[in-house]
Chain A
Amino acid sequence: MEILKMVYAFMFTGLFAIGGGLATIPFLQDMAKKYGWFTIKELLDMIAISESTPGPIGINMATFVGIRVGGYLGGIIATLALAFPSVVVILLLIPVLDKYKESPLTQGIFYGLRPTSAALIAAALIGFIKMVLFNSGLVALSEINLVNLILLLAFIGLIKLKDPHPILVIALGAVIGMIFKLA
């Protein structure tokens, strides 16, 4: 029974959480209150761990909660339940988009959507850079983390000059972080 409730709760989350992994957090908070599968404090730990294990954060949280509630099978079921509504919505949307692709209305919408999408990504980037460069999250010159600033510039230079595969860049970041015990 617990598993059925979990399928429902995660499908509900997948259908109504709009805007990516972090948008699922309020739904997970509700789950904590409604079903008592985990406490709010445990949820905070799960969010932190989901950010630090491979994979999109929303997917990681679903697997994590699922394992808590129903073991390994629960982990698989919760993850599939979360992803299912996305797949259905996009599959329904694709034929509509294809049909009206050439219409001036769609063209106009995408003319506006592309720069907006780029702006959303740029805003997310600014958030990341703040987190990397400022020790306490406080944006002030005295709080700047010089080691991280130099590394960030070095990485940008490396990518610009050599264009290595992103996986190599990520692996290099992990190794440097371990050697220099970055924080």
Chain B
Amino acid sequence: MRILVDLFTCFFKMGLFTFGGGYAMLPLLQKEIVEDRAWASEEELLDYYAIGQTTPGIIAVNTATFIGEKQAGIKGAIVAVLGLIAPSILVISLLSGALEKYHESAVVAGALAGIRIAVSALIFMTVIKMAKSAIKDRGGLFIFGLALLLILGFSSPIVLTVFVGAGLGLLLSRRQHGNS
């Protein structure tokens, strides 16, 4: 029971402090899930993101399902997802009458511009931490560089990029296996 309450409050917090897409949630996940609660390792979080981006649905929901299931089975998954979506439902329901006005206010616009800078800095530090645990050798560095080139240089779709990465991983790890 305690784990369920903990899952709900933890993901409620994530939902409440995520502004933007699933990527904006990453620094919070890293702090709360990896560092504070040890519910997942850095590598596992990367795996969840890779899978979350290639499977149907919202990345944040996919990640919450993964982490919830690992901690408390199907119940845990459902509770984590409900915690994640509850703030959205609450805030938008409360604001729904005033959303247009809220959106156009200069104070809100200023706050959001500040949040964007803060979130960029947070993700910057998260990317550095994650790259360290994702790239273990030259093969990994090669895959990282190629994937980045595909996305930025050739606007490759996410699903295609992930398939190329997985295929190369298979190929390169096979070769290492054969050599040893």
Query: Do A and B share a complex?
Result: yes
Please determine whether B20 and A51 come into contact, CB atoms closer than 8 angstroms: yes
Query: Which positions 74-126 of chain B face chain A at CB distance < 8 Å?
Result: 74, 77-78, 81, 84-85, 87-89, 91-93, 95-96, 99-100, 102-103, 106-126
Q: Are B47 and A67 in contact (CB under 8 A)?
A: no
* Chain A residues within 8 Å of B70, by CB: 94
Instruction: Establish whether residues B26 and A118, one from each chain, have CB atoms under 8 Å apart when the complex forms.
Output: no
B169 touches A182 (CB 8 A): no
List residues of chain B with CB within 8 A of the CB of A20. Answer: 21-23, 52-53, 58-60
* Chain A interface SS verdict (over half): helix
Would you call B10 an interface residue if the criterion is a C-beta within 8 Å of the partner chain's C-beta atoms? no
- Given A122-B148, A148-B117, A170-B118, also A111-B92 (CB < 8 A): no
Is A15 among interface residues, defined by CB-CB distance under 8 A? yes
Q: How far is the CB of A72 from chain B (nearest CB, A)?
A: 5
Complex CA–CA separation, A29 to B48 (angstroms):
28
Task: Please tell me if the beta carbons of A19 and B53 are within 8 angstroms of each other in the complex.
Answer: yes
> Which A-chain residue is minimally distant from B29 (CB atoms)?
A166
Residues of A within 8 A of B172 (CB): 108, 111-112
Q: Are B69 and A90 in contact (CB under 8 A)?
A: yes
Tell yes or no: A121 within 8 A of B by CB. Answer: yes
> Which one of A1-9, A32-40, A124-132 contacts B?
A124-132
Q: Which of B50, B84, B114 contacts A113 (CB 8 A)?
A: B50
Contact of A122 among B127, B141, B167 (CB under 8 A): B127
The answer to whether A112 touches B114, judged by C-beta atoms less than 8 angstroms apart, is: no
B120, A121: Cβ atoms closer than 8 Å = no
Distance A132 CA – B50 CA, assembled complex (angstroms): 26
Judge whether A119 and B147 touch: CB under 8 Å.
yes
| Main secondary structure on B side of the interface with A | helix
Q: Which of B43, B112, B162 contacts A116 (CB 8 A)?
A: B162
Determine which of B77, B85, B133, B141 lies in contact with A79 in the assembled complex, contact meaning CB atoms within 8 Å: B85
The yes or no answer to B37 lying at the interface (CB within 8 A) is: no
Q: Which of B31, B99, B166 contacts A49 (CB 8 A)?
A: B99
- Decide yes or no whether B161 CB sits under 8 A from chain A: yes
Task: Please name all residues of chain B whose beta carbon is closer than 8 Å to the beta carbon of A80 when the two chains form the complex.
Answer: 85
| Residues of chain B with a CB closer than 8 A to A138's CB | none
**Interface status of A146 (Cβ within 8 A of chain B):** no
Q: How far is the CA of A142 from the CA of B54 in the complex (A)?
A: 38
- Residues in chain A near residue B54, CB distance under 8 A: 18-19
14 pairs of residues in contact across A and B, judged by CB atoms under 8 Å: A15-B56, A18-B55, A21-B21, A48-B103, A52-B19, A52-B108, A54-B18, A55-B92, A59-B85, A119-B145, A119-B165, A155-B118, A170-B115, A173-B116
* 4 additional contacts (CB under 8 A) given A63-B88, A116-B162, A173-B114: A54-B17, A56-B18, A112-B165, A182-B117
Listed in ascending order, the chain A residues whose CB lies under 8 Å from chain B are 14-22, 24, 45, 48-49, 51-60, 63-64, 67, 72, 75-76, 79-80, 82-83, 85-87, 89-91, 93-94, 97, 104-105, 107-126, 128-129, 131-132, 148, 151-152, 155-156, 158-160, 165-167, 169-170, 172-183
